Amino acid sequence: MTLLFSPSTVSLPVVGTADRFPVRRVYCVGRNYVDHVREMKEGDERDDPFFFQKPADAIVEDGARVPYPPRTEDFQFEGELVVAIGAEGVDVPAGRALELVLGYAAGIDLTRRDRQRDCRERQISWEAGKAFDASAPCGPITRGADVGEAGLTLSVNGEVRQRTRTGLMIWNVAEIITHLSADYRLMPGDLVYTGTPAGVGAVGPGDVVRVDIDGLEPLSVTITESGSHETD
């Protein structure tokens, strides 16, 4: 059998090494900070974690130029801690969940908010609002980081728009892995975006969006006019 084309593998750098982390799947946690639940006026404050996915090729690296996506007039940022999975696991108890973690990174869940709201009102999947091209910027992965109470800030053009600590997540990393592994077999190469705090907002062409998390490499992307994305 001859392949018609060779599928590309999206990967991320691992800090301090020449290694690359090949991305298999991208999971995202919705509604994982109380202030964001209140901000969006949806869900209860201790609902079970809500998961959705983005395609692996939605990942773009630090320094990327991200084109303003089509069919939206409300393109928003969500700064997040990202967990890189380095071992297989299914039905993983919370006491062993961190054994699956290879490292952590800073991430941005870019969202077509108007499309997401439309999906919610129509009671259909959030895919149109969440799973589009270049919608998952992710920074380099740091192995062995301690992010239990790390500070997280997101700034737009140098102005801080989101500020929190990862210890304020409703569901911590171990609990997220436990819940997620009950529905999916987690595998090396999986990324988990762990949710965003309050302060989400719109961006447009020319805006520089940066996420800083204590102990991790920063992530910065520039929003451009519509078109294909590229990296500096």
Does the predicted TM-score (pTM) go above 0.85? Answer: yes
- pLDDT digit string, tens, across residues 129-168: 999 999 999 999 999 888 989 999 999 999 999 999 999 9
Domain containing residue 198: CATH number: 3.90.850.10
Q: Is residue 8 part of a domain?
A: no
Q: Is residue 10 part of a domain?
A: no
Q: Which token pair is 183?
A: 């529905």
Q: Is residue 6 part of a domain?
A: no
Q: Is residue 50 part of a domain?
A: yes
pLDDT number for residue 170: 92
> 3-state DSSP call for residue 7?
coil
> 3-state DSSP call for residue 178?
helix
The counts of H helices and E strands in the chain are: 5, 19
User: What would the mean pLDDT of 62-85 be, rounded to a whole number?
Assistant: 98
Segments forming the whole domain that contains residue 81: 15-231
User: How many structural domains does the chain have?
Assistant: 1
User: What would the mean pLDDT of 61-76 be, rounded to a whole number?
Assistant: 98
Residues 6+ apart with CB under 8 A from 226: 67, 68, 69, 70
Residue 43, pLDDT > 80, answer no
